[in-house]
Structures are given as C-alpha cells and as structure tokens.
Amino acid sequence: MNKEIFKGLIDLHIHAGPSVMPREVDSYEMLKEAEELGYRAIVIKDHFAPTVMMADTLSKHVSKNTQVFGGIALNNSVGGLNVKALDAAYAAGAKIFWMPTVSTKNHIDAHSGGHGIKFPSSKGMSVAEKPIVYIKEDGTLIDEALEVIEYAGKKEDLILGTGHGSLREVDATIRAAFKAGTKRILVNHPFYMIGADIGIIKEWSEMGAYIELNATVFVEDSKFCSVSTDVLAEIIEKISIDNLIVDSDYGQLGNGNVSEGLWKFIEMIKKNTKATDEDIEKMTKINPAKLLGLE
C-alpha cells in the first residue's frame, strides 16, 4: 500500500464503532491509523446514534494532526426526520447530517432480497424498523422533511447527506435543499441502491451538489461490491472533477481495513479511468476540504 496517497487525505464516510452494527474498527483505532498515515480529517458515520460528541472528544484529547468530525443520521432511532435532534447535534458540533438511511423504505426493500444486496444486521435491537417514506404521491416532500431541509438551509457550514431514500426522494431533497439555500450537499452513492442514471447525476452536480464515489461498492474484494468499473469511468468522464468526492464507506466487520480499501479504490481509479493525479488530489483532498469548510 502506497502510504503517500494518504498525506492530507480526507475520508468523509467511515463506519467505525462503537455501534450496534458490527464494525471492523472503533473510532479510536481508526483515528490512530489515520494519524499514522497522515490523514487530514475523517468523518465517522453511524446509522443509529449521533457521532458528534465522540468525534469532538477524540479531536480534543487524542488527535495530534488528524481532525475527527461527526454527525447524525435521521433514522427512527433518533426520531426520524426530527429537526430537534438535528438542532441538538448541530449545537454539539455536527458537520454533517444524513437524510434517513437504514430506516427508509427504499433501504429496507433493497435489503430484503429486492436487489440482492446484503447488509449486516444490528446486534441487540428488537424493535422493527417502521419504514420511512418522505415523499408524497404528488412528488412533494412531507412537512418533516421540508423542516429539516429548511433548517439546513440556514446553517451555511452544515453538510446535507442525501442518505438511502428512493430516487424520487433524493431528487426532491436536492432540489428543495438548493431552493432553501443549502450550500453543502453530498449525494451519497447515487449509483448504488438509489438507482440514479448519469443524466440526473450530472444535473445534480451542475446544480452544485458533490457526488460521492465510495470505495466499498467498487472494490472487487469488498462484500458490497456491486457497481462496475464502467460506471466509475463514465462518472469521472462526464461529471466535473470539481464536484466529485472519493471516500471509503468502509468499516463493516469482515470487510477489511478501511485505509486499504480506500487505497485499492484509488488504484482502480488510476487504472480504469481517465483521472489524472491532479484529479485524484481534488477528489480525495481538495473537494472534501471545501465541503467541510477547511479550505
């Protein structure tokens, strides 16, 4: 593994414990690894609990050079599309929030055999998910979704992650967010589970959204590998590099080392696309820094 690639790198999507989902690494261990490799920053994501307080503690008392950021995913465990929970997380220092992920009907359907996608089950949880659908039949968003989107529009430094909703939900969210004045939008893996085609992905990027390229769905030996290198090459060819972000989305138990997974993905990009070293620098360092407000 070429460790030089990690100098100044920012990973916006790491699943590190503690968590009710089985994880390969906890946040302390991930930070120590990131420090050794020279990461500039990491973002810890959890589907069930806010990560912001843990991230803040690690940044203040453990980190030497690598910043640690956290956020909140608006799933059932925090009240769903709950603007009060979002407000509390933001007040505690959250840099990002994700629209519903594992609680969405789209996610639940996808991991119930509908798309052949496997997803690890949580441990110790006994209350079933109540599927969240946040778009109406007429294509408009429900009031709770609009409330959190309008909240985000008033917080210039808060990143909106689009989560695991349906294509209609994600599209409506992006449009409503820009209308509300949101400055920072990260479209989570639109080619995986969401089912967006290159046309609408390009449209979102031209509106100003960042498009996530996450290693775990592209790397061949990842348990979640489900997207071809042809899709990767097409996105890098047709979407402006200024609007692409490469991150890992690694950390699942048994899916291997987070940094190694990301390194493999970067090597895939070099081998299978027209991306230059300068392009990779933008996607792994410059663009994530802009999104986090670190530029």
- Find how far residue 230's CA is from the centre of its chain: 22
Task: Tell me the domain boundaries of the chain.
Answer: 3-292
Buried b (16+ CB within 10 A) or exposed e, 19-57: bbbbbbbebbebbebbeebebbbbbbbbbbbbbbebbbe
Residue 248, number of CB atoms within 10 A of its CB: 26
119 neighbors 106 (Cβ within 8 angstroms)? no
pLDDT of residue 108: 93
Residue 27, SS3 per DSSP: helix
Distance in angstroms (rounded) separating the CA atoms of residues 273 and 71: 32
Residue 162, number of CB atoms within 10 A of its CB: 25
CATH 1.10.579.10 holds for 3-292? no
Residue 132, SS3 per DSSP: strand
According to DSSP, residue 23 is labeled B
Q: Give whole-number Cα distances, 125 to 23, 27, 183, in Å.
A: 16, 21, 36
Counting every residue written for the chain, the total comes to 295
Q: What is the mean pLDDT of each run of 10 residues along the chain (295 residues)?
A: 94 97 96 98 98 97 97 98 98 98 95 58 77 98 98 98 98 98 98 97 98 98 96 98 98 97 98 98 98 93
> What are the phi and psi torsion angles at 72 (to 5°)?
-145, 135
pLDDT of residue 115: 44
Per DSSP bridges, beta strands 67-69 and 184-187 are unpaired
Q: Tokens 């592209």 appear where?
A: 218
275 neighbors 269 (Cβ within 8 angstroms)? yes
User: Who's near 105: CB < 8 A, 6+ residues apart?
Assistant: 131, 132, 133, 166
pLDDT of residue 169: 98
Q: Tokens 């979407």 appear where?
A: 239
Distance in angstroms (rounded) separating the CA atoms of residues 245 and 291: 9
- 255 burial (CB, 10 Å; 0-12 / 13-18 / 19+) is buried
